[in-house]
Structure formats: C-alpha cells, structure tokens
Chain A
Amino acid sequence: AIQLTQSPSSLSASIGDKVTVTCRASQDIRKFLAWYQQRPGKAPQLLIYDASTLRAGVPSRFSGSGSGTDFTLTISGLQPEDFATYYCQQFNNYPVTFGQGTRLEIK
C-alpha cells in the first residue's frame, strides 16, 4: 500500500498567517491526491483534488501543488474557521490511503 506522510503532525499559527502542510507519498502517485479539512466532531470536507484543483465553493486562500511524490497544501491568510485537522488522500491505486493528519491550532 502507498504510504502518505504528512508534516508537520501539528502546527500552531495566528490569524492572518500563511501556513504550508506537506504530504509525501511512498511512490509516484502522479497528480492523484486530494486534501480534506475536518473540524472537531464533523465529517471531512473536500478542499482540493487532483493535487491543485480547488473544489467549487472553497475559499481561494486554499491552494495545492505538487505531483509525483511531494505535495503541499497552503493556506494564505488564516481565518478562525481554518483551525482544524487536514488530511491528504491518494487515489492512484487501491487501497486508497490517507495521511495521518495535520492539526492546525491557534497560537
């Protein structure tokens, strides 16, 4: 199975900051990566798919980049509602796998 390693596992930041989360795949997954946001007690919500395509309705402060094995999620200008846990997911082949998550906390 393809392993996805996210870094950092947790991150403290302030309102208005720019933050970057990295997701590294154990093998080439081309562009087949998605990012999700999960707020406490809620279901995950899709932010980005195909590594860099922003889901309709997601604020433009979210962006994704990368291909192959290295991917990043960037949030430019943190808002209070952005403090949550973020997961990457690969869909290059089965089994589908997720990163372990990055918890974004308010500093």
Chain B
Amino acid sequence: QVHLVESGGSVVQPGTSLRLSCAASGFTFSTSAMHWVRQAPGKGLEWVAVISKDGNNKYYTDSVKGRFTISRDNSRNTLYLEMNSLRSEDTAVYYCARVPNAAVGLNWLDPWGQGTLVTVSS
C-alpha cells in the first residue's frame, strides 16, 4: 500500500527557513517522480515543484523560484522541500504526491500525503 507522510510543518516568522520531509513507503521510491502541492487556508490547490526519479530534473512555480528547493534521498525513501525567505503568502498545507507507474514528472498525481501545515507569521 502506497503511503506518503509529510512532516516538518511549523509556525515560523517571515524571512526564516523551514525544511519539509515526505516519507514514502509501499512502493519503489526511486522509480517515481514526486511533486509538492500547497493549499492556503480556505483556498484552492497550487502546484509548487516537481523532481524527477533520479533527482536530476526539477521545476518550480514562479513564486517560489530561488527560494524553495526540492530534493530527494532515494536511499532514505524521502522527499524534501527546503523553503527559504518565507513570506506570509507561503502559509499553506503542503502536500507531497507521487507520479504513478514510473511515468515522467508531468503527470497526474496519486496518491497524496495527508499534508503538513506551514504558517508564516510574525
């Protein structure tokens, strides 16, 4: 059974940094591209970033380019999102999600983790 568990969410001040983790189990992590998607309180879904199976290819939404870094450790079955220079508008639940069937990163997402809440506030 595929399982994704995010962690690392917290309340932080603007301008600070935070690292989110997504622990994967139930599948061969190294064969799956992975995404981060976020959802601000009461709002819709916003795609954040994607990383290829081997970690060599990454894409970001414009609003986080230069501030966020997606990475993975296939030996630990873990996905990361390093977030720097956090802003109030980064406040959201952050979900990790898998691209199924060893497909390329540009794809549908299934499943999603339960999410971890990041609150950026002074």
A contact set with B: CB distance below 8 Å? 32, 34, 36, 38, 42-46, 49-50, 55, 87, 89, 91-101
Contacts and interface: CB of A to CB of B under 8 A. Distances in A.
A46 B44 contact: no
Given A87-B45, A95-B59, A43 B109 contact: no
B61 A95 contact: yes
Nearest to B104: A91
A87 B47 CA distance: 12
A99 B62 CA distance: 17
Contacts of A46: 108-111
Main secondary structure of the interface of A (DSSP, over half): loop
A98 B45 contact: yes
Given A43-B95, A43-B112, A46-B111, A96 B35 contact: yes
Contacts of A95: 47, 59-62
Contact size range, B: 20 to 34
Residue of A43, A46, A87, A97 ringed by the most chain B CB atoms within 10 A: A43
Interface of B: 35, 37, 44-47, 50, 59-62, 95, 106-115
B44 A100 contact: yes
Nearest to A96: B47
Contact of A87 (B44, B61, B115): B44
A76 to B, nearest CB: 22
Contacts of A49: 108, 110
Most buried by B among A44, A92, A98, A101: A44
B119 to A, nearest CB: 16
Contact of B115 (A43, A92, A94): A43
A89 B115 CA distance: 18
Contacts of A45: 110-112
